[in-house]
Structure formats: structure tokens, C-alpha cells
Amino acid sequence: MPGWELRVTRLGVQQKRDSTPPARTYGSYQVFIDDTAVEGLSGNICERRGRGDNSHNGVTNHSRIAAGTYPLSTQFGRYRSVNYSDGASDETHPPAFRVMNTGARTAILVHPAHRPHLYLSSIGCFNPTRPLGDADDMDFTESRARVIAMLDSLRQHDAAAFERANVGTNTPIANASLVITGEPMGAVPT
């Protein structure tokens, strides 16, 4: 039974010409519920470059996580699935949800791109976005809206998980997963 799935297809690597920010993996995403694409829950997504590796923690491993299927949970901490910041002026608690069963990798989240690193706000996380060229930065407000739309869909899918998150507990979201396809190492095809 597929349930709720965030399907990410990695397309390739992007990097600004001046190479000041790190290169990023650029992909596309689409949310599916019971194998049916959900209108309005699609776009592009950025994450770290490098061959997928779940064997070392994020302090020593600055690569993306390995392609595969991962269960999801709510997130409570600096990033939150409930009671997150309003986004107008306070990014203290940006919206997010957690990717589980990532081996030695910890704190892998789907969260918005944020200042000061709008080219890539990730050591292993996923930043949803509009379409981007190699030199384009993400927009916090736009990226934030995409994360909130996915959180709203997840809340409709499993309201109980979000009720438990209100008391400060990361809670598995029933029958919800991230499905990652691809391990491209070259530039995004034109």
C-alpha cells in the first residue's frame, strides 16, 4: 500500500561559475497519495552533491543520502512540523519534517532554504524550490510555502502524528515515505 509518498528524482549537479557556494544536487519532486499525483505538490528540490552515503554522520559526511525509500516523521526542535515561525520576520523555528532510517546520518529533514545560504541550506537535507538555473538562489518565502503545503498534506494523511508533535515528540507518520531515485554526478542535462 503506497500511502503518502514524496518522490524525488535527482537530475544532476548545479554550481555557480564562481564556485563560492558548494555545488548542489538538483532534482524534481512530486507528492503521490495512493499512487495518484497530488496537484500543486510538485516542483524542484536541492540537496548536497556527492554520491549517496549513509555510512558516516553529517559532521564528516557532506554528501547526499543514498537513493532509496525512507519513512517520515514529524520534527520537533529548531525545525518544527507544528508551531513553526510565522515566516514574516522570524526564522527561529522554520517548518520541516524528518526523514528516518538514514543509517549513520542524523537530522535529515525536508525544510526551506534560508538565509544566509539561499544557494543551498543543507548538509544532508532537502530544500524544495521553484525551477532554478545553475546560478539561481532559492527564495525563503517560496521554499517555505512548499514545505508548509507538504506538511498540510501530511497532517491530513495522519493527524494523530501531528497531535503528538505538539507535545514535543518526533512521531512517525503512518504510511508516509520519501522515495529517492538516481545518483547523478554530472551536470543537469539541458
In terms of C-beta density within 10 A (0-12 exposed, 13-18 middle, 19 or more buried), how is residue 94 classed? buried
User: In b/e form, how buried is each residue of 103-122, taking b as 16+ CB within 10 angstroms?
Assistant: eebebbbbbbbbeeebbbbb
Question: Is residue 25 situated within a structural domain?
Answer: yes
Question: Is residue 186 situated within a structural domain?
Answer: no
Better pLDDT: 90 or 152: 152
Cβ neighbours of residue 23 under 8 Å, at least 6 residues apart?
13, 14, 15, 49
How confident is the prediction for the chain on average, in pLDDT?
91
Question: Is residue 190 situated within a structural domain?
Answer: no
Q: What is the mean pLDDT of residues 124-152?
A: 96
Question: Is residue 129 situated within a structural domain?
Answer: yes
Answer whether 14's CB lies under 8 Å from 26's CB.
yes
Interval 25-36: pLDDT, tens: 999 999 999 999
Whole-number pLDDT of residue 19: 62
Whole-number pLDDT of residue 51: 85
Q: What is the mean pLDDT of residues 72-78?
A: 94
pTM (global) more than 0.85: yes
Question: Is residue 39 situated within a structural domain?
Answer: yes
Total structural domains in the chain? 1
Containing domain of residue 68, as a range? Answer: 4-181
